[in-house]
Structure 1
């Protein structure tokens, strides 16, 4: 069956085409202005940050040559030609890596507990009072705004070198980050079950326990596992200021120019992070479904 297509009069069609061209021109002009503003802001930011492309290209060879050195053994051979020589300290490094993992685990666990306690007070739909929500949110902002390595440095000065400083630093920073994420999950929860539980005369704590928590528990666990993976990297860096773990050994190798040791330790850390990423993704998928995998 043939379908008739109506054709607009020439004059009306010309008006529509003209309006379309003007709309396209306005859109292109806006895009061009936005691109120009972006480029101008980028240039201003680069000048303010003293980014010098001449310096970058002049000394880029030093960057490349450093990677060449860390992939070379003392005898001049490449590191992959003699794994026994390359990973001569693997027992010590694995012990320190285990210490890093324990620091990350304990710090994440403590931070998750504090975040779990505070997030209900920080969420807009569950906080008992506006002043309490404001106070808790500012506290969480402070905990996650200050870099973890700064907390680690402070705790190293206070408690001395060792894993304790790293655990405390990770716990504070994780509580701020997870508290924010947990509160956002709670704010997206369905409040109808809360109204139903509250109608029975239940307390605020009972409403959180029986109406909100079952909805958000899977999200809590997923974010906590993701934070553990991040904290493994954080704990490695905190070792630079003496907060324990394999980071301390890495900074010693860097300072003493033990080039092949640097690459061996870095490879150990990278492989560990890869394995943790795969493992936590698998755990989240098995516990909460494939949609929780990144």
Structure 2
């Protein structure tokens, strides 16, 4: 019988099986590919093992000594939360919070100094990275020499550790927060400059070509065609870098570059265990609050961009 007008008959066909002589080359090619991947995996594992062994030998890692002295770590951590001297010796620090945080006024002042060091260093680093990223980006940098110099300078800034810069500036300018600010600013310039350049290289070139065709200068093209695209990502990376710099600024005090790190290293050297735990908890709590705040800000930035 004929079906209704306009209906279409659907024909189901079973898959065709290739003859055995045609399957043999395909199976062999598949087996060769699997064997090659296995050889690469084994070779990679051997190289990794050799590299690990070499690093352990160069670093003079002594597993026997590590096992023999491993119990010192939990012992030290336990002593951080127990008073060592006075009438409260041997008692938990939680039993007398006032005595535990006897130096809270000074520590808060030094913590505020640490935050200011991180903030000013991040702001200066943002300015440096923002200025140089357009010269370092491959898609908008018109001058090869300037691009080469900008990239090498950013590499130098982020390669040298912050603590090394801080030591140099402490010798040059003396103790205080200034060496910490300069050290963080230089390192942040290198880190943000690299990230910003990658963001610029991924920008849509359509507005750039349109602005250039309309007779805009290079500076006008960057201002009106590139910056509006990349600014939300720039702000997000800067907030993330500020979190990192707060932790870095806490360590700057170890070399006399200001901040709460000065009291922390003094407490560690003099074995003031309760003071060490009190200062560490202040730093950890502050970093956690900053992380939560900047996470919300980054979420709003990306949400607004979407």
Q: After TM superposition, is the score higher than 0.5?
A: yes
Counterparts in 2 of 1:79 and 1:291: CA distance versus 1, 3 Å: farther
What residue is the counterpart of 2:147 in the other structure? 133
Whether 1:66 aligns to 2:96 is no
Q: Does 1:218 align with 2:228?
A: no
Structure 1 gaps of 5+ residues are none
Of residues 163-172 and 47-56 in structure 1, the stretch that sits farther from structure 2 once superposed is: 47-56
Name the CA distance, whole Å, in 2 between partners of 1:244 and 1:17: 68
- Corresponding residue of 1:77: 91
Find out whether 1:108 has 2:122 as its counterpart. Answer: yes
Aligned to 1:50: 60
- Residues 246-282 of structure 1, C-alpha deviations (whole Å, 9 max, x = no match): 0001011011110011011111111111111110010
Instruction: Answer whether contact 1:121 1:127 (CA < 8 A) is retained.
Output: yes
Q: How many Å apart are 1:5 and its aligned residue?
A: 4.4
Say if 1:284 and 1:290, in contact at 8 Å, map to a contact too: no
Contact residue 285 and residue 291 of structure 1 kept, 8 A: no
Are 2:121 and 2:184, in contact at CA under 8 Å, matched by a contact in 1? yes
**1:39 partnered with 2:49:** yes
Q: Say whether the 8 Å CA contact 1:120–1:183 is kept in structure 2.
A: yes
Contact 2:236–2:301 (Cα < 8 Å) also in 1: no
Specify which of 34, 59, 70 is matched with residue 24 of structure 1.
Answer: 34
Shift of 1:179: 0.9
Give, in angstroms, the shift of residue 8 of structure 1: 4.4
Shift of 1:245: 0.6
Distance 2:171 2:256 in 1: 10
Q: Between 80-89 and 155-164, report the one with greater CA deviation.
A: 80-89
Equivalent residue, structure 1, for 2:4: none
Residue 256 of structure 2 is aligned with which of 242, 247, 258?
242
Choose from 111, 115, 120 the match for 2:134.
120
Distance in 1 (CA, whole Å) between partners of 2:305 and 2:222 is 25
What is aligned with 1:230? 244
Structure 1 window deviating more from structure 2 (115-124 vs 77-86): it is: 77-86
Query: What's the CA shift for 1:11?
Result: 5.6
| TM-score for both structures, normalised by structure 1 | 0.93
Q: Are residues 36 and 132 of structure 1, via their aligned partners in 2, closer, same or farther at CA, if it must alter by over 3 Å?
A: same
Write out per-residue CA displacement over residues 139-171 of structure 1, whole angstroms, 9 at most, x where no aligned residue. 111111111111111111111111111111111
Residue 97 and residue 28 in structure 1: after superposition, are their counterparts in 2 closer, same or farther (change >3 A)? same
- Which of 209, 225, 232 is the matching residue for 1:195? 209
Q: RMSD of the alignment, in Å?
A: 2.0
TM-score (norm 2): 0.89
User: CA contact under 8 A between 2:250 and 2:260: conserved in structure 1?
Assistant: yes
Q: Is the 8 A contact 1:72 1:260 kept in 2?
A: yes
Gaps of 5+ in 2: 1-10
Instruction: Please say if residues 203 and 229 of structure 2, whose CA atoms lie closer than 8 Å, have aligned partners that are also in contact.
Output: yes
Larger deviation, residues 232-241 vs 111-120 = 111-120
Q: CA deviation at 1:29?
A: 2.8
Equivalent in the alignment of 1:92: 106
Q: How many residues align?
A: 292
Change (3 A) 1:58 1:283: same
